[in-house]
Structures are given as C-alpha cells and as structure tokens.
Chains A and B, each alone.
Chain A
Amino acid sequence: MLNLGPIIFGLILGLLIGSQIKFKFGDNVFTLASLIIVFIAGIIVAWQSGNFPFYTDLQISTGFLSALIGIFAGNLIFARSK
C-alpha cells in the first residue's frame, strides 16, 4: 500500500528548499548533464534506503525520492536569480 504522507510533504519541503538553490554561481556552473547524474545518484541512494520508513510500501524510499524531485522542480519553478 502506497502512503501519501511522505510523498506530499517531501515534495512540499523539497520545493521550499529547492527554490533557494542556484546551479550557476561564481565561476562554477553545474550543467544539465551533471544534474542528471546527481538525480541518478539520488535514485540509487533512495533505492538503497529500502522502503523506509513504513516497510510495507514500495521498495524505494518515497520520502527521499519525492524530496529529490521537489528540489529539482522547485529550482526549475521558483529559482532565484542573482
């Protein structure tokens, strides 16, 4: 059974924090390819976390995954420019 709580609130918290991230700062630029690598690494971490915290739903940490999606979505939608 899929629990909606971590998915909804993970997405909200991820959106909140993702709105403050910049991927172009100073001399450093994180390109789209590097962000895709970060996303894949995040999926691997979520997979290795197992079905935390409920132990009865999907074989992947839904809270972690929704937070990761929320951070990237928040950066796309609300990112601040400097």
Chain B
Amino acid sequence: MSQNSIILKLVSLPISIILICLGIMTILGGHITPGGGFQGGAMIASGIILSIIVYGLGNSPLELSHTYIEVLESVGALGFIIFGLIGLLVGGFYLYNVGTDVLNIVPQYIQNIFHYPDVTNAGIIPYLNIFVGLKVFVGLTSIVIAFAGFKKLTEEGE
C-alpha cells in the first residue's frame, strides 16, 4: 500500500506533524471559534492517515497500538459521561455547565474546580471538546488502520 515516491516520503511526516498541531489548535479554540472536538479530532486523524497511506501500515512513523487506541477511546467516552453526571449530581441537569453556572445553583468551590483557565469563562465546554477530540481522533484512525490491514491481508491472500 505504501508509495514509492521519495518526495512524498520526505514531506509527509513534517506535514503530518503540522496537521496534528493544527488539529490540537482547533480543539482548544472550539468554544469561541468555528471548530471543536470533532473537527480537530478529524484533522489529527488526517495527519496520521497521511503517514499511514504514504509509508504503509507496518512501516509508518505514526502508528497507534491497539492498547493506545483502546485507552484513548475509553477516556474520551468516560470523560464525557463523567462530566455529564457531575452536572446531573451538582446542578440537577445532565451536562449542566458547572464551571459557568448560569442558574446560580452550584457552590463557588465547585465552579472554581471546573473553571477553564482563559478569559471567556466557558466552564466545562473546552473539556468536553478535548474528550470528543480524543475519541474522534482515535476512532477515525482505527477505521483507516482496519481498512489498511484488510487490504494488506487481501493482497497477501492473492
């Protein structure tokens, strides 16, 4: 599946690194600018997919192990659910923004715990973006790894 072009092999890893950084930047600005967890996660995945396509599945510099994918996928899903349950327990609504507290029903010390350190007072939204970004990034990457693996198996079988 890998490409034989030397130029592609030279530029793909640097472009992948820049794409990953752009994806992280998109995730971290998701609460005040266009973008967010899904878009940023898809951009990170695109960086990894680029290197898998160019260098091949077994030879890629950016290849995620099964355990790594499993752990990040679980952390993403569990983090989202835990933040939702915290809102349910403290504020009475699932995914209630305990860091901002629009309804003034959350104690101040809990608000301070979930306050995101920036000027926008966004509460838990950036944290949710980060969890969604992690989940989307490993989800999309694992799909491509699976497809590349199937293709490799088919080519070996022929």
Interface residues of A (CB under 8 A from B): 1, 3-6, 8-10, 13-14, 16-17, 20-23, 25-26, 28, 30, 34, 37-38, 41-42, 45-46, 49, 52-54, 56, 61, 63-64, 67-68, 71, 80
Contacts and interface: CB of A to CB of B under 8 A. Distances in A.
A30 to B, nearest CB: 6
Given A4-B117, A45-B18, A10 B62 contact: no
6 contacts: A5-B117, A9-B126, A16-B134, A25-B55, A26-B59, A45-B21
A8 B127 CA distance: 12
B82 interface: no
Interface residues of B, number: 35
Contacts of B44: 17
Contacts of A49: 25
A20 B62 contact: yes
A30 B32 CA distance: 37
Given A6-B28, A64-B25, A53 B33 contact: yes
A8 B117 contact: yes
B118 A67 contact: no
B20 interface: yes
Contact of B29 (A8, A17, A21, A63): A63
Interface of B: 9, 13-14, 17-18, 20-22, 24-25, 27-29, 32-33, 44, 55, 59-65, 68, 72, 116-120, 126, 130, 133-134
Consensus secondary structure, chain A interface? helix
Majority secondary structure, B binding face: helix
A43 B72 CA distance: 28
A82 B73 CA distance: 24
A16 B14 contact: no
Contact of B21 (A30, A42, A53): A42
- Would you list the 4 A-B pairs with minimal beta carbon distance, nearest first? A53-B29, A67-B24, A3-B118, A63-B28
A45 B24 CA distance: 14
Contacts of B9: 28
